Amino acid sequence: MHIDVYTEEDFRFATLSQVRNYSPDEFYVKPHLPGFALTHLYDWLNGHILKENQPRILIRAVAGTAYWVAQHVVPQATVDLWLSADQQNACSRYQFAKLAEPMRLLESDSVPSDGDCSNVTCVVLACWVPDSVNWYNQIRAHSILGCKPMAVYDPDRRLRRHPEGEYFFNSSIWVVKGRVA
């Protein structure tokens, strides 16, 4: 499977049943979010980019999703891709190398250090369910990242009881505004 045969538009109308039928290898090159959720995530990011002077976006996501979200925002924003070891293979390294600068790959299975995230202006969490929610809870406790605006892919609506956020246009993208530290 090669990333060069796809465009961003190929995934905007993917249904949940289509996404569920992807093979494990396809998730390295295709987003694991259905098109409706992906479009809402793009819309939220576009709004963030327009508000910020020099946006820097930290993305924790499945490899294919990370690639397409980064592809959408680069070069308007600096991107820090924070991938776990299991999401890095020859295919994902190739596709991330193709992205225009500015982009940085953080290879870690834990929350980035303060030095790695001091200039981040927002966080995107689009991992496997329920990992996004678990990472959200860890990041909200982080001294720097916990104050940043955040978008979390939450198709099961596990965050619905958190008072600080809301589902973006009633989608599966849960967003929280930044707060003063």
Name the one residue in this structure whose structure tokens are 């993917």.
14
The tokens describing 126, both together, are 């689009």
**For residues 131, 95, 171 and 167, what is the CA-based torsion angle, rounded to 10 degrees?**
60
pLDDT in tens, the chain (181 residues): 566 677 777 888 899 999 999 998 888 888 999 999 999 999 999 999 989 988 999 998 888 888 889 888 888 888 888 877 666 665 566 677 777 666 777 776 778 777 778 889 999 999 887 788 888 888 888 878 888 999 999 999 999 988 889 999 999 999 998 875 5
The DSSP secondary structure of 51-101, one letter per residue, reads H-SS-EEEEEE-HHHHHHHHHHHTTTSEEEEEE-GGG--HHHHHHHHHSPS
Instruction: Choose among 103, 106, 89, 79: nearest CA to 27.
Output: 89
pLDDT of residue 172: 94
Q: What class does CATH assign to 3-176?
A: alpha beta
| 111 three-state secondary structure | coil
> Which residues make beta-bridge pairs with 122?
57
Distance CA 179, CA 170 (A): 22
| Helix, strand, or coil (residue 152) | strand
Token pair of 83 as six digits: 């991938």
Q: How far apart are CA 115 and CA 107, in angstroms?
A: 14
Q: How many CB atoms lie within 10 A of CB 11?
A: 20
User: CA-to-CA distance for 77 and 56, rounded, in angstroms?
Assistant: 6
- pTM (2 decimals)? 0.87
In the numeric block, which tokens belong to residue 153?
A: 């892919």
